[in-house]
Amino acid sequence: MTALPREVVPLSPADLLSALGRALGGPDPARDRADREALTDALRRVTGARHLFLFPDGRTSLYALLAPLARAHPGAEVLLPDYNFFAVPEMLRRAGLTPAFVDVTAPHGEADLTAAERALTPRTRAVLLGHYFGRPNDLRAWRDFAARHGLELYEDCAHAFGASVDGRAAGLWGRGGFYSLSLTKGLTGVMGGVAFTDDDEIATTVSSFAGALDEVPRAEVARAIASALGGHALFARGAPALHRAHASLVRAGVDPLDAAMTEPRPSRPPYAWPTRAEIPGACAWLALRHLPRAIADVDRQRALARRVVEARPWSRVTLPRWETDRRATGLNLVARAADPWGLRRHLRARGIDARSDYLSSSTGDAERFPVSARLAREGVLLPLRSMRDDADADRLIEALDAWERG
């Protein structure tokens, strides 16, 4: 059986080799500047954002967006989901703000509006939504919530390139949003981040931050691009020996690929954050090369996600229902199961490689945030991005049918 890998590297080896050559070669400021400007212009057209800025990673983009709020209200509280990626609340702290966590709703991990109401204090100044796995939150409701309480609204769109509600891009419903351009995101340059906004005040502050950035060390860029080249071998469909070896480890409850793909939570905050540098020119070029395919992939992934979600009334696994009132990207399809490792072993035995959910409870407080804690335990990311057609989706449906039968 040909294995269906969990991920694909959506950049060609030829493009990666060209970018690696640029990273290892001497600097070419004019070429780098031209590629950054071309990517900025292209993304401005795609998103409809009036202002757009490039950074070396998503977390620095978030830091730049939050700088005006931190200057106006030092130490202010920002509401955000407890179910999150660890770097997000850390960047709030770096900016001089205070994370105020709220529980989430199942199965998507969207911050709970009722919990947010209860968490309000006189120090609350903003809310930061997380559009996880390419699904936009209920932005109409959150925009009304923010307006009703005099709060600023920010959006974590790291997973949500191509997501929108009512034809308006996620990230443009409040003060601003940001994308990550890391390897597993919908649009990738191997490394990179994008801050975007329609707000002139935010844009002025972000522009001043973006105008005083250094270069990412060439060795760091080269390592990142080389790892993407390695990913072609690790995740290729035509590598049966690797897949067999990996399957035996998954059966034993060990997954080295998860460890390789998931950034570990550091024992102490890395003081290099935020990364005060520009997006490398080679990475801007890669993102520009990937952009047309990334836009097309949103439609393909949405269609495949809908095929799986609507195939059955699943009982032993929880899949999100298909929502027609918002445009999700279909970047990832997350299944929730009481025995996630059992589900992963079951899928892997049928040639389908799924990974663990890499989001977690920020506080680890299951009493205060029970849904966040449960979602972090139960998540399995199905390999939607590596599916090519309906036949791949049907293989996944058949495997889930077998899981349903026990």
What are 311-324's pLDDT values in tens digits? 999 899 999 889 99
Which is nearest to 357 in space by CA: 338, 340, 343? 340
> Which tokens in the block code for residue 305?
């996600």
- Look at phi and psi of residue 124 and say left if phi exceeds 0, alpha if psi is from -120 to 50, else beta: beta
CA 265/CA 207 separation, integer angstroms: 30
pLDDT value of position 264: 83
pLDDT value of position 238: 65
Which is nearest to 257 in space by CA: 57, 5, 1, 3? 5
pLDDT value of position 4: 78
- Point out the residues of the chain with pLDDT beneath 50: 1
pLDDT value of position 2: 59
Q: Are 157 and 178 in contact (CB under 8 A)?
A: yes
What are 265-282's pLDDT values in tens digits? 888 888 889 999 999 999
CA 103/CA 186 separation, integer angstroms: 26
Tell me the one-letter amino acid at 203.
A
The CA-CA-CA angle for residues 320, 325, 331, to 5°, reads 50
Global pTM reads: 0.95
